[in-house]
Amino acid sequence: MEYKIKHRILTLVFKILLGLFMLSSGIMMLVVNPEPGVSLSGAEGKLAEWLEAVIATGYLWQWIAVFKVINGLLILIPRTSALGILAAFPYYLNIFLYTVFIGQIYLNLSVPAFVVTCYLIYAYWDRYRSIVSK
């Protein structure tokens, strides 16, 4: 079955940007890998408490980083882009809602990432149609 991708050039640019953003931020998380009790710069209040809780688990920070690296690669590989975009949606929806309600200092990162993910779902809708329709 032939799938039609909407606005090919814009979709390609957004796909590359989102894939590189996920890949690079995942690699940065693996490199930083903070210890429990060490706050990350710029985080304060509820945001810092949440990040400390994620770090204190001993595995969740690394799990998120590995997910982002793998998902960034999935988005960048043409054959797996649709899967990577679909996996990115709940991640960026959660980050978007979290930054709107708790960590507003990161809205400049979460809003564009969420909007681009929504656009890419729209652009790849023909591939997802069979999942959501009867």
User: What are 81-92's pLDDT values in tens digits?
Assistant: 999 999 999 999
42 pLDDT band (50/70/90 cuts)? low
pTM of the model: 0.86
User: Is there a contact between 45 and 98 (Cβ–Cβ < 8 Å)?
Assistant: no
Residue 45 clears pLDDT 90, i.e. is over it: no
Give the closest residue to 38 by CA, choosing from 59, 23, 54, 24: 54
| Alpha-carbon distances of 131 from 22, 32, 89, 120, 125, rounded to whole Å | 25, 38, 15, 16, 10
Residue 38 clears pLDDT 80, i.e. is over it: no
